[in-house]
Amino acid sequence: MTLTAIFTGFRKAALLLGFVVIGVFSIASAQAQETASANPKSEIKSRLTDLSNLYKTEVERLEKRHQQSQQLFNDGLISRVDLEKGEKELADARAKVEQITKEIATADQPALTPEIVSELAAAGNQVWTTGDAKIDNFIRYYGGQYGVDPFLIYCTMSQESSFSAGATSPKGAQGLMQLMPGTAARYGVTNPYDVAQSIKGGTRYLKDLLKMFNGRVDLALAGYNAGEGAVMKYGNTIPPYTETRNYVRLILKRYTTKKQVS
């Protein structure tokens, strides 16, 4: 065998080995993606971790700015009001990091087994679906975390966006739960079109409304549509707005009918 033939054989073997390695990595990558998509809790934790990193970066930025502000205040170049404003922003940012850390710890808790899920269903848990398993899982996860009936979240989402993550209303409400920019900011939602953030923010808002109105679902829904201020303005009753009254009526009809059937 000539030297040229030997080198040619080596090149072919190396090329074949390269294809095999690439194939193995591709299969491993596909399996990893399939595992992640099949494990909603893992996806939730991943999203929370990404959000935590963003919050931590913001804290670092505010800490540096606060140090500069402290020096400027000592030199008499800015007022105490300006300094305290920066301190408040830093404290709020640190609180977000602390909260997201708790949520990551919660996400690490063991997932519900199929047996437990079946028991919950037998006990009266509602049978429903948005048509998207990922959205369904987020609804159940955040409903459980914040103590809001997942079926109520589902009914509200159906009326708000018809389960369209990219929905935007003429008034500026955004995402699955149709959060207004001010409400989104209140609950730390940085991207209202992100499925997890929208459901989390909307669920927390529903929880606060239910607490505010002593568990009255009708008033909580009215507050979600028209704002809690409008409900309080009219003496803790459903405001006399045609849109709001139809909104509450339609959601309650669906919510209570399903409850009675089960």
| Encoded tokens for 34 | 């399939």
Is position 160 annotated as part of the catalytic site? Answer: yes
Burial of 128 (0-12, 13-18, 19+ CB in 10 A): middle
Residue 221 CA, distance from chain mean position: 20
CA distance 175 to 169: 9
CA distance 56 to 236: 40
Q: How far is CA 228 from CA 35, 69, 209, 212, in A?
A: 42, 37, 7, 9
Crossing angle of helices 40-74/3-38, nearest 10°? Answer: 90
SS3 at position 174? strand
Provide the β-strand partners of residue 168.
174
Crossing angle of helices 195-212/40-74, nearest 10°? Answer: 80
Are 244 and 228 spatial neighbours (Cβ–Cβ below 8 Å)? Answer: no
Residue in 89, 160, 228, 243 annotated catalytic: 160
Place of tokens 């398993």: 133
| Encoded tokens for 229 | 């201020």
Amino acid at 220: A
Catalytic positions = 160
